[in-house]
């Protein structure tokens, strides 16, 4: 049922777009929009804005793809109509031919016979690897599935995995059919991961259709396969920013921004990691807290959120974050002369219901020589405590490098390739590097400066592409520090609505300019 806050938003939004929509020509081309998540205002507002910008530039029709039952579809339509968007495709009403269903069963059977994670990752379309979408979807969907055996990693294929492979085959056919039915100018997306949201961007790129992508912090127009992976895409943007800016000025910006970050100023993830409610430890404090009685090196192992799309980079040494962490912990447990400290991810429990998963590895594998980071540990303590850190591909690798702390990185992260991180090329090389961390040295000054340059470019990219919705609204949606409430999010949006001039934002204007020039 429609809520008062939502009705107020619809009325305000309808009035705005009625006076600001300036489509002066019509085209038979189509703008397809990912609308499966339009129940959340952050997804709905930025996707609709992007579509309206393209429409103003080209006159193309906007069609929103939804996946909802009747009541959900009606709600999405009401919201979209406030933007002047009136055409929809509900994929639940689409039919898949019997021969496609038989083919999907055959694909599942072949995967089951192989019965390894590679059977999922090798799924492809026209030579384009797409199995990672299925793999990450299995991990992500298991959050609220009620499965007794949760999928933090995939070792063998069970019925839950088979259902996702079958779903992938069905959705692949449906999305192909939609692309073939229309003369598509662009696809507007909020994700390039998971089955429901990731398939269409990959199919669009294969058909040479640009993808207008946006998330809570940034946006991009994607034209090539590699840029569908977050880390690859961000690495490219960072390189462009570095090339067009003075290095000394970037270092100055980095030092100012980094100070703010260490004080807990920034997005929600930053506030959680560097919260003022947590304690800043000195080296002697952490030694006393954990009972360390030697002067050996202290190396932190930073766990990831296990279910949060591990394949957002195009290359990792392991199947997923859990696989990486478990093998790392088993390996370092045997390495003496180092104080290994395991640090859990601050949002794993809050958002993804990952309670004690990393600590469970220590218990399951009976690992005795790994210390556990205190729960009240403020990440800004790392500058005074750590001699080195280990991560799969977390932002912490860049942050520590700015402090001169060596970071071992096991994936193709957005900040790798610039010469300041330790990047093993194989699991064998990785384990040799772990052995050498007992004698690790601080980064050179030129490496620290390079890390700062990358950090500044990273901040400039996200700063220039700041979200329309502030952290308070996002907290209502995601529930980082409170119970999530879409209704409260709409209430805050309504209070701030007069501050937004959508058509004059950098996001709207950049999208408009790109398609005006195509």
Q: Give 2's pLDDT tier (boundaries 50, 70, 90).
A: low
Q: Does domain 4-93+184-216+500-517 have CATH number 1.10.287?
A: no
Distance CA 178, CA 174 (A): 6
Q: How far from 335 is each of 60, 296, 321, 326, 387, CA to CA, in Å? A: 61, 12, 21, 15, 16
Distance CA 150, CA 78 (A): 37
Token pair of 67 as six digits: 């996946």
Distance CA 297, CA 430 (A): 18
The predicted structure's pLDDT at residue 465: 42
Q: Map 280-347 to HEC letters.
A: CCCHHHHHHHHCCCCCCEEEEEECCCCCCCCCCCCCECCCCHHHHHHHHHHHHCCCCCEEEEEECCCC
> Kind of pairing, strands 297-302 and 219-222?
unpaired
Closest CA to 227 of 241, 211, 240: 211
Q: Which of 21-35, 88-102, 404-418 has the lowest mean pLDDT?
A: 21-35
Share of the chain above pLDDT 70, in %: 95
Sheet of strand 219-222, all strands in order from the earlier edge strand to the far edge: 87-90, 61-66, 30-34, 184-189, 211-214, 219-222
Q: Map 436-478 to HEC letters.
A: HHHHCCCCCHHHHHHHHHHHHHHHHHHHHCCCCCCHHHHHHHH
Does residue 90 have a pLDDT over 60?
yes
The predicted structure's pLDDT at residue 115: 97
Does residue 143 have a pLDDT over 70?
no
What is the average pLDDT score of the chain? Answer: 92
Same fold, 4-93+184-216+500-517 and 241-464: yes
Q: What is the pLDDT of residues 157-185, one digit of tens each?
A: 999 999 999 999 999 999 999 999 999 99
Average pLDDT of span 45-69: 96
Q: What is the pLDDT of residues 259-313, one digit of tens each?
A: 888 887 776 667 677 787 889 999 999 999 999 999 999 999 999 999 999 999 8
Q: What is the pLDDT of residues 312-370, one digit of tens each?
A: 988 999 999 999 999 999 999 999 999 999 999 887 776 777 888 999 999 999 999 99
- List, in sequence order, every residue forming a beta bridge with 124; answer none if it has no partner: 129
Domain boundaries, the chain: 4-93+184-216+500-517, 98-171, 241-464
> Kind of pairing, strands 184-189 and 211-214?
parallel
Q: 50 or 267, which is more confident? A: 50
Q: How far from 462 is each of 310, 378, 480, CA to CA, in Å? A: 21, 23, 20
The predicted structure's pLDDT at residue 149: 62
Class of domain 241-464: alpha beta
């Amino acid at each position: 049922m429609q809520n008062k806050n939502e009705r107020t938003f619809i009325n305000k939004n309808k009035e705005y777009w009625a006076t600001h929509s300036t489509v002066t020509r019509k085209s038979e081309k189509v703008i397809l929009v990912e609308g499966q998540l339009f129940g959340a205002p952050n997804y709905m507002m930025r996707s609709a804005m992007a579509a309206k910008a393209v429409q103003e530039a080209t006159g193309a029709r906007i069609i929103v793809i939804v996946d909802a039952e009747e009541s959900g579809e009606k709600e999405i339509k009401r919201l979209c109509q406030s933007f002047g968007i009136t055409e929809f495709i509900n994929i639940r009403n689409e039919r898949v031919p019997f021969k496609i269903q038989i083919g999907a069963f055959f694909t599942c059977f072949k995967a089951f016979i192989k019965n390894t994670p590679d059977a999922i990752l090798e799924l492809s379309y026209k030579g384009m690897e797409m199995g990672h979408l299925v793999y990450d979807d299995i991990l992500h969907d298991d959050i609220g599935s009620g499965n007794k055996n949760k999928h933090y990693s995939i070792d063998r294929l069970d019925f839950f995995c088979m259902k996702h492979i079958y779903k992938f085959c069905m959705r692949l056919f449906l999305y192909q059919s939609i692309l073939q039915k229309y003369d598509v100018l662009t696809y507007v997306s909020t994700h390039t991961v998971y089955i429901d949201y990731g398939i269409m961007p990959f199919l669009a790129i294969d058909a040479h259709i640009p993808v207008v992508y946006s998330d809570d912090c940034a946006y991009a127009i994607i034209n090539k396969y590699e840029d569908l992976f977050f880390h690859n895409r961000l690495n490219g943007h960072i390189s462009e920013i570095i090339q067009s800016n003075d290095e000394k000025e970037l270092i100055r910006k980095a030092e100012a921004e980094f100070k703010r970050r260490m004080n807990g100023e920034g997005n929600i993830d930053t506030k959680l990691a560097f919260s003022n409610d947590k304690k800043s430890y000195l080296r002697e404090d952490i030694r006393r807290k954990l009972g360390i009685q030697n002067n050996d090196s202290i190396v932190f192992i930073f766990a990831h959120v296990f279910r949060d799309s591990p394949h957002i980079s195009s290359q990792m040494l392991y199947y997923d974050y859990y696989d990486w962490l478990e093998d790392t912990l088993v390996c370092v447990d045997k390495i003496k002369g180092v104080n290994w400290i395991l640090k859990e991810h601050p949002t794993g429990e809050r958002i993804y219901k990952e309670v004690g998963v990393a600590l469970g590895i220590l218990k399951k594998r009976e690992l005795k020589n790994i210390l556990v980071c205190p729960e009240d540990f403020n990440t800004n303590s790392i500058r005074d405590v750590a001699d080195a850190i280990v991560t799969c591909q977390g932002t912490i690798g860049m942050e520590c490098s700015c402090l001169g702390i060596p970071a071992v990185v096991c994936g193709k992260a957005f900040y790798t390739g610039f010469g300041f991180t330790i990047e093993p090329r194989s699991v064998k090389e990785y384990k040799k590097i772990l052995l050498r961390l007992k004698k690790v040295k601080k980064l050179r000054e030129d490496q620290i400066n390079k890390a700062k340059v990358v950090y500044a470019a990273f901040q400039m990219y996200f700063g220039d592409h700041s979200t329309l919705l502030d952290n308070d609204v996002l907290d209502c949606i995601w529930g980082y520090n409170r119970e999530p409430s879409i209704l409260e999010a709409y209430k805050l949006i309504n209070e701030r609505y007069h501050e937004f001039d959508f058509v004059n934002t950098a996001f709207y204007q950049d999208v408009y300019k790109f398609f005006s020039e195509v």
